[in-house]
Amino acid sequence: MGKKAAIYCRLSEEDRNKRLETDDSSSIANQKALLIQYALREGWEVYNLYSDDDYTGSDRNRPAFRQMLRDAEQHRFDIILCKSQSRFTREMELVEKYIHGLFPLWNIRFVSVADHADTENAGNKKSRQINGLVNEWYLEDMSNNIRSVLVNRRQNGYHIGAFALYGYQKDPDQKGHLLIDGEAAAVVREVFTLFSQGYGKTAIARMLNDRGVPNPTEYKRLHGLRCRQPRGKNSTLWRYSAIADMLTNEMYIGNMVQGRYGSVSYKTKQNRPRPKSEWYRVEGTHEPIIDRALWDRVQSRIAQRAKPFSGGEIGLFSRKVLCANCGYTMRSSKNHGRHYLQCSSRHAARDACVGSFISVSLLEQIVLQELARLSDQYLDRDALERGIELKSGLEERRRRLMANLAAYRKKSAEYARGLRALYLDRARGAIGEPTFRELAEGLTGDKDRLDGLIRSEEARLAELERQIASGESRGEVVQRYLHPEHLTREMVELLIDHVTVGKRAKGEKSPPVEIYWNF
């Protein structure tokens, strides 16, 4: 029985730009003709033609490529035939994984015509590895070249993003230039004006939501622009964070600011935040929506409001208190000299949250009372003799951390699966490149944030394990803070992981409070 050969062809954008149309790599048809003739000359039966058009050699999710690998694993043919090793892949990692690893296990022979790679010839393995290194270097050089072009365009103030910032649209007649989108720009001006007049960010979000003004993502969807699909309850509403980001974005005064995120490496699509010092900022590249006088008033007010307590101190419970209903961080406010914590979601939209609320002084009193109770309980020698385990608090926190880690890891895996599915959708042509980039950036950002949480929780768990192993007890921690009259920020950071506050029930003096200790 004759050998069966699978023919694989690939054409990428770089091939379309070749000057000589007679170059064999300039078309899929030429590759197919060359390889079919080679197979017939060798006496091989052509099992199937696998062809990927407009895919780079670093793309692992080429549809025909993936199908060929699945068929190879099922041993539906004996040989994989390509014009060159680079048509199969430009990554050294895949060369080793498949050509030198799995193909021999699957009893699949790999042959490439132009560079004479043949796994049946053990003597040219080094040649194949050298080809792999050369192709890998090509990928890196190409990535560096593309990056240098993008850096140059950014440095010269050209917009290179897939989508324009809310309030602007891409100029159809001048690539890299932005034009004002009148409808969205009117909302941007309103946001800046309201804030300069004394309205808070949450209040502004509430006003927009009450009027049914679509948030930036919903606005794009309503205007026929393919964009990232919203997730979760009330995900199309304006929120505090959207207003806060808008009020500090220099793009609205005509300055091009880009490069907030950068790719991890040329081998991955993942992006990570870059320090502000490395952003690309060019002044006066497009028409401003916000005039300089209004911008300066807003920035001055932001700077003032960034210091909610006298002397610019960080709030006693800053970023430590969560709404028990919706999980959002409760924000500080001040009225008649007293400080309060309230859920921002309550004011962002109707029915978004029941609206948890507590004064800072009352929360401090509750924490001090609970701390005193713990001190008395865990320093009671008689109680200890009755078998109270001092490490119970540490063990409980350990269980909670492990539960959090499991949840974060599960969600991170879901985002990873979503990214893989997204690459497949792009490969199948189900979504376009601009949509793919926006969706991928969103999913990647979410996954990176979760991975950061995972690393943080792992570090906290490791420290907790150290405390448990060393015998440091709950009582020993409490002993350092016996019956203090007032809390300090340092004490809150050390003792408290977070606090949840619910809505006060009718007839009750205080809302339900649950304290999650760090010990």
Own/partner contacts of 120-129, CB < 8 Å, gap of 24 or more, are 125/100, 128/85, 128/95, 128/99, 128/100, 129/92, 129/95, 129/96, 129/100
The first and second tokens of residue 154, run together, are: 């950014």
**For 126-166, what is each residue's pLDDT tens digit?**
565 565 555 555 555 555 554 565 556 666 777 777 678 89
Band (pLDDT 50/70/90 cuts) for residue 24 is very low
Any residues with CB less than 8 A from the CB of 378 and at least 6 apart, and which?
A: 384, 388, 390, 473, 474, 475, 478
**Is pTM, for the whole model, over 0.85?**
no
Domains and CATH numbers, the chain: 4-154 (3.40.50.1390), 156-306 (3.90.1750.20), 321-517 (no CATH)
Percent of the chain with pLDDT over 70: 72
Cβ burial 48-68 (10 Å sphere, 16+ → b, else e)? bbbbbeebebbbbbbbbbeeb
Distance set, CA 257 to CA 39, 216, 224, 274, 283 (Å): 55, 19, 26, 12, 9
Band (pLDDT 50/70/90 cuts) for residue 227 is low
Q: Which among 464, 474, 514, 469 has a CA at the least distance from the CA of 378?
A: 474
Residue 69 above 90 pLDDT? Answer: yes
pLDDT of residue 78: 93
Band (pLDDT 50/70/90 cuts) for residue 232 is very low
User: Which residues are registered as beta bridge partners of 162?
Assistant: none
The first and second tokens of residue 442, run together, are: 């969103």
22, 16 contact by CB (below 8 A): no
User: Which residues are registered as beta bridge partners of 321?
Assistant: 499
User: Which residues are registered as beta bridge partners of 110?
Assistant: 80
Q: By mean pLDDT, which of 29-33, 94-98, 263-267, 316-320 is the weakest?
A: 263-267
**For 107-123, what is each residue's pLDDT tens digit?**
999 988 877 788 888 66
pLDDT of residue 482: 60
Residue 9 above 80 pLDDT? Answer: yes
Distance set, CA 430 to CA 163, 238, 424 (Å): 19, 30, 9
**For 369-406, what is each residue's pLDDT tens digit?**
888 887 776 655 444 434 334 444 567 677 777 877 88
Mean pLDDT estimate for the chain: 75
Amino acid at 138: Y
The first and second tokens of residue 52, run together, are: 């990927």
Residue 231 above 50 pLDDT? Answer: no
User: Which residues are registered as beta bridge partners of 271?
Assistant: 263
72, 5 contact by CB (below 8 A): no
Q: By mean pLDDT, which of 85-99, 412-426, 460-474 is the weakest?
A: 460-474
Residue 488 above 70 pLDDT? Answer: yes
118, 111 contact by CB (below 8 A): yes
**Beta-sheet pairing, 79-82 with 4-11:** parallel
Q: By mean pLDDT, which of 84-88, 264-268, 272-276, 444-448 is the weakest?
A: 264-268
pLDDT of residue 387: 35
Q: Which among 77, 14, 24 has a CA at the least distance from the CA of 50?
A: 77
Most confident of 79-93, 440-454, 476-490: 79-93
pLDDT of residue 67: 92
